[in-house]
Amino acid sequence: MKSVYTLADLRDWANATRDCVPPLRLAVIGDPVAHSKSPQMHNPALAAAGIDAAYTRLHILPGEVEECIRLLPGAGFIGINCTIPHKGSVLAAVNQPDETARRAGGVNTVIVQPDGTTAGTSTDGGGFSRAVRESFGVGLAELRVLVLGAGGGAGRAVAMQCAAENCVSLTLANRTVEKLPSLASEIGSFYPADRVSLAGDDSLAAAALGADLVVNCTAVGMKADDPSPLPASMIAARHLVYDTIYVGHRTPLLRAADEAGSRGANGLAMLLHQGALSFERWFSRPAPLEVMRAGLLGQSPSL
């Protein structure tokens, strides 16, 4: 069994995976994909649930997405997850994207349906919501939220989820501020427009002052020596700080939160819960959450 397969393998899946027990019927597609932790979360869950299927990685290049989606039903797939950079192109490639995927601007979960068509959804926002509940014991509906990096894929999914759950207010910030007005206007089609605001560099301090929950959806913090995406001076003890980044180190934002005496959590819970929501969509049953968490934390066998 390989740890990463390709489109060439998918074209001849029965042959390429003939020695695999249980059969490989789920995967994460991405470019790159070798780093993905999804197999180590899903394989223990499949085993614990007694499901005769295993989860692998598919390295799919940008020009290969449409063919990949088309091949899934014939190859016996139950579904797939999608990571960078494919979420947007999978949205266009599946037969039935749902409202959540359209709002998020991408699909992270494909479900192969009994009739051989493909449905697509996004569990990123729902995973974020559950992660906030788990980390801070509060729901989005009770919070004034500031989303840093709202113009990126994760930021858009998070902002849409906050609005869908009717958060108290929503402030959108992004390095490229030009991306924000169209996003705000989309959000304003189903959430009160007077509760959405945009923050630039000069209004970030005021935005932080008016927020309960600060969410980092930028890539700033992936490297330990990155700056904090929100200056430390703008973080107060009363803030809840959620950094969607999940890396080994405490991110610069979370270190700033620690120094301010505020509560902070990293993106591991979001990764866990988006995966659990995918599992629930594929199998119409609750996911074995603690098994998945142990897998993510490297406490159970993985592919």
Which CB, 271 or 287, lies closer to ligand NAP?
Answer: 271
Q: Least distance from C-beta 132 to ligand NAP, angstroms?
A: 12
Question: Is 87 a known active-site residue?
Answer: yes
Q: Least distance from C-beta 107 to ligand NAP, angstroms?
A: 13
Report H helices in 173-298: 180-187, 204-209, 252-260, 268-283, 289-296
Q: What is the CA radius of gyration of the chain?
A: 19
Which CB, 78 or 270, lies closer to ligand NAP?
Answer: 270
Q: Least distance from C-beta 219 to ligand NAP, angstroms?
A: 4
Q: Which helix (H) or strand (E) holds 157?
A: helix 153-164
Tell me which residue of 49, 48, 51 sits closest to 24, measured CA to CA: 51
Calpha distance 148→257 (Å, rounded): 15
Tell me the two tokens of residue 154: 């994760």
Calpha distance 71→151 (Å, rounded): 32
Binding-site member from 75, 78, 208, 217 for ligand NAP (CB under 6 A): 217
| By CB under 6 A, residue 151 contacts ligand NAP | yes
Binding-site member from 222, 231, 261, 298 for ligand NAP (CB under 6 A): 222
Binding-site member from 30, 267, 288, 295 for ligand NAP (CB under 6 A): 267
| By CB under 6 A, residue 174 contacts ligand NAP | yes
2, 37, 87, 179: which is the annotated catalytic residue?
87
Chain residue at closest Cβ approach to ligand NAP: 152
Tell me the two tokens of residue 267: 């993106």
Using the rule CB under 6 A, give the single segment among 40-48, 97-105, 161-169, 170-178 that binds ligand NAP.
Answer: 170-178
Q: Which of positions 123-142 make contact with ligand NAP (CB under 6 A)?
A: 124
Number of other residues whose CB lies within 10 A of the CB of residue 302: 16
Tell me which residue of 302, 271, 276, 299 sits closest to 54, measured CA to CA: 302
Catalytically active residues, by annotation: 87
